[in-house]
Amino acid sequence: MLASHLTTTQPKRWKRIGFGVFAVLFALFGFFFLQGATEALEPWVPSDCGGCDNETFVPDSYRWLAASHGALLAFLFGGCLIALLRKPYEKPMLLHVYAVGHLAFLAVLAITSPRMALQKAFVFVMFLLVLAILFAFYHRRSSAIKLEPADGYVRSLLVMSAVAALVLIPVAIHAGMQQMAETAEQFRWGEEAAMLLALLYAGFLASSRRAGSFALGAIVSVTYVYLGAAALAVPNHPGSWGIAGGIASIVFGLAFASLVLFHHRSR
């Protein structure tokens, strides 16, 4: 059973407090300093600079890619940190996903834009520092680094995750190729590729019978619904999944959520 995997030792008080404080700080950092929450609104509320020469912080052509930025930072990363605020040491899988998502971002950056990666070496330092701090305060570091074997998988969720991978892996590859051809000093396309890889990995883990699978399944479901709504808002922008893709993503997210809830209640 899931409960059998939970350690009986209790973390020290300073670790419990420290982890919670840094989880909140890093979530807020992603929401606002890294503009995860603000860019998540780009499909509906284009950013501007108070009417100065009709310029925008995010070019109009990047509004869908800004939604990908919001999906990664606000929904996936922020969602994992928020879910970890309650009984964090019982859900090492969420910290695992958070870490893998950051490493995927850095790997895609290094592969698709090596020159930019050198110029923005501070991003590597910043992300690795964030992970180092969280793992330093996490009581079950080894369980978050290497997940314990699952008690099984929910077949319906596993099938849905496989279908999503068949559809989205080519999209991620295309985004990576677009990033390689990018002439502007932007990592928008590469970030979309990293977001899709993190989302697919999170969906696969959410289909397992591990502690934290319900919270992770909820995060994955909401992310798909959000991306579908964003696609409907900017159907003709570069990279957008369009009307059909937006509707499909919303239906997929709602179906995934329904199955997650059903299997959670049936345990």
155-181 and 188-206 helices, crossing angle to 10°: 170
Q: What are the residues whose beta carbons fall under 8 Å from the beta carbon of 205, sequence distance 6 or more?
A: 93, 96, 97, 147, 213, 216
Residues in the chain with pLDDT values less than 50: 1-8, 51-55
Judge whether 198 and 99 are in contact, CB under 8 Å. no
pLDDT tens per residue across span 137-181: 998 899 999 999 988 999 999 999 999 999 999 999 999 999 999
pLDDT of residue 11: 77
- CB-based burial of residue 54 (10 Å sphere; 0-12 exposed, 13-18 middle, 19+ buried)? exposed
pLDDT of residue 185: 83
How many angstroms separate the CA atoms of 71 and 74, rounded? Answer: 6
12 phi-psi bin (left φ>0, alpha ψ -120 to 50, beta other): beta
pLDDT of residue 264: 84
pLDDT of residue 49: 55
Q: Is the pTM of this model over 0.85?
A: yes
How many angstroms separate the CA atoms of 45 and 250, rounded? Answer: 20
| Angle, CA 226 vertex, CA 223 and CA 230 arms, to 5° | 135
How many angstroms separate the CA atoms of 102 and 159, rounded? Answer: 26
pLDDT of residue 182: 84
